[in-house]
């Protein structure tokens, strides 16, 4: 494995680094110690052409000014928390309302916007980047001093493994994800509307008009949400289903995964011949098809942002679970270990 670490600018007087790792097949990725951001994943197509399969920027300034969580770790709690408040053991906590009156993705300065301490381990057939961050009690309104670790591992089998570890000294809530925007066409040369997604999922979470889960789980049968046999992502924007419309003409929904072993999620681009298989220990995945992506900025490779330019597959627990008694809990108690595992395998 070839590893490089170089300066990527500085934030509040602290240096930001870009760490790039390439395996023996020429597949590789680059990540920052700012927000554990994955800035690029380089994957060969069916002809061996190596291209970038994620959206990102090639400079820190653009991440600071324009990034909608491109490639970043998201937390302490991914997704929306209704009205930016929750109760724990009878105490109410108030969080930032940074998204239409709700709390989104860890608040105004979530884990995507802090500098983590990075250590690289590159022995033998795998290379690992281990990020650590101590989130102080009360950060963004969340209780507990929480020790966090994010580990990205690259293997010679073209697998990128994302792991999160957490421990707290006081009961709190924790639900992390990685918010990478995938586009398997290569260098975002076309949208993801022709990508095929396959999900081992019978149910998805109904959202209200503010994209907050209503608490109901809807059956995918007979809808544009049925990805069990594989479905073109273009079915979302083309659908008249009220759930596709309220997501801004597409998908922005958590799907409940059948947690058998093996590949729960498969994304394929027929033009490039690239396929990505995803395994996870998380109960859900938010499928977000960047329905309104736009802006006066350029992505790396001078690509203009446009709707449906990428799909996010954010493995996680259910959004707003702390306010939904029938959802699996995201409470982490003192002495408990938080662990999330997701493997992205590229073929
Ligand atoms: C929008 O609703 C979507 C979220 O799902 C996404 O994570 C965010 O943009 C980047 O708020």
To the query of whether residue 314 is one of the catalytic residues in this protein, the response is yes
Q: In terms of Cα–Cα distance, which of 283, 285, 278 is closest to 344?
A: 278
To the query of whether residue 179 is one of the catalytic residues in this protein, the response is yes
- The pLDDT, as a whole number, for residue 116 is 98
Which residue out of 103, 179, 195, 253 is catalytically annotated? 179
Which atom of ligand 1 has the smallest separation from the CA of 104? Answer: 11
Which residue out of 40, 51, 140, 314 is catalytically annotated? 314
Question: CA-CA distances (angstroms) from residue 42 to 165, 234, 258?
Answer: 26, 25, 30
Question: CA-CA distances (angstroms) from residue 199 to 231, 264, 278?
Answer: 9, 6, 10
CB 244 within 8 A of CB 277: no
Give the residue extent of every domain in the chain.
Answer: 2-346
Annotated binding site for beta-D-galactose: 179-181, 252
- The pLDDT, as a whole number, for residue 125 is 84
Ligand 1 pocket check for 118: Cβ under 6 Å: no
* Ligand 1 center to 110 CA (angstroms): 14
2-346: CATH number: 2.70.98.10
Phi then psi dihedrals of residue 159, to 5 deg: -115, 135
Locate tokens 């058998």: which residue?
260
DSSP one-letter code for 289: -
**Mutate-to-test residue for ligand 1 from 55, 78, 104, 284, highest number of ligand atoms within 8 A of CB:** 104
CB 45 within 8 A of CB 186: yes
pLDDT tens per residue, the chain (347 residues)? 999 999 999 999 999 999 999 999 999 999 999 999 999 999 999 999 999 999 999 999 999 999 999 999 999 999 999 999 999 999 999 999 999 999 999 999 999 999 999 999 997 789 999 999 999 999 999 999 999 999 999 999 999 999 999 999 999 999 999 999 999 999 999 999 999 999 999 999 999 999 999 999 999 999 999 999 999 999 999 999 999 999 999 999 999 999 777 789 999 999 999 999 999 999 999 999 999 999 999 999 999 999 999 999 999 999 999 999 999 999 999 999 999 999 999 99
Give the distance from CA 193 to its chain's centroid.
Answer: 19
């Amino acid at each position: 494995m070839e590893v490089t670490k170089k300066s990527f600018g500085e934030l509040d007087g602290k240096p930001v680094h870009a760490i790039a790792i390439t395996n023996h097949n020429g597949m590789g990725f680059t990540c920052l110690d700012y927000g554990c951001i994955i800035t690029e994943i380089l994957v060969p197509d069916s002809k061996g052409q190596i291209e970038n399969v994620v959206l990102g920027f090639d400079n820190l300034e653009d991440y600071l000014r324009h990034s909608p969580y491109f490639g970043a770790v998201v937390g302490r709690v991914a997704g929306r928390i209704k009205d930016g408040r929750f109760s724990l053991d009878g105490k109410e906590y108030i969080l930032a309302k940074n998204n239409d009156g709700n709390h989104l993705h860890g608040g105004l300065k979530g884990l995507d916007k802090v500098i983590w301490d990075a250590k690289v381990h590159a022995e033998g057939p795998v290379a690992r980047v281990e990020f650590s961050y101590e989130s102080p009690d009360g950060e963004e309104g969340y209780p507990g001093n929480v020790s966090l670790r994010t580990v990205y591992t690259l293997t010679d089998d073209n697998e990128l493994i994302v792991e999160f570890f957490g421990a707290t000294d006081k009961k709190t809530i924790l639900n992390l994800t990685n918010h990478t925007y995938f586009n398997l066409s290569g260098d975002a040369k076309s949208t993801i509307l022709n990508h095929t997604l396959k999900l081992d999922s019978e149910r998805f979470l109904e959202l209200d008009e503010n994209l907050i889960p209503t608490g109901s789980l809807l059956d995918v049968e007979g809808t544009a949400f049925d990805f069990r046999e594989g479905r073109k992502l273009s079915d979302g924007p083309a659908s008249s289903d009220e759930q596709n419309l309220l997501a801004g003409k597409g998908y922005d929904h958590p799907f409940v995964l059948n947690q058998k072993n093996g590949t729960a999620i498969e994304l394929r681009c027929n033009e490039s011949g690239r396929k990505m298989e995803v395994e996870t220990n998380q109960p859900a995945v938010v499928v977000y098809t960047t329905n309104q992506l736009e802006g006066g900025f350029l992505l790396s490779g001078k690509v203009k942002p446009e709707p449906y330019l990428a799909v996010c597959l954010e493995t996680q627990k259910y959004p707003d679970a702390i306010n939904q008694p029938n959802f699996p809990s995201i409470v982490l108690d003192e002495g408990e270990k938080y662990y999330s595992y997701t493997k992205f395998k590229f073929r």
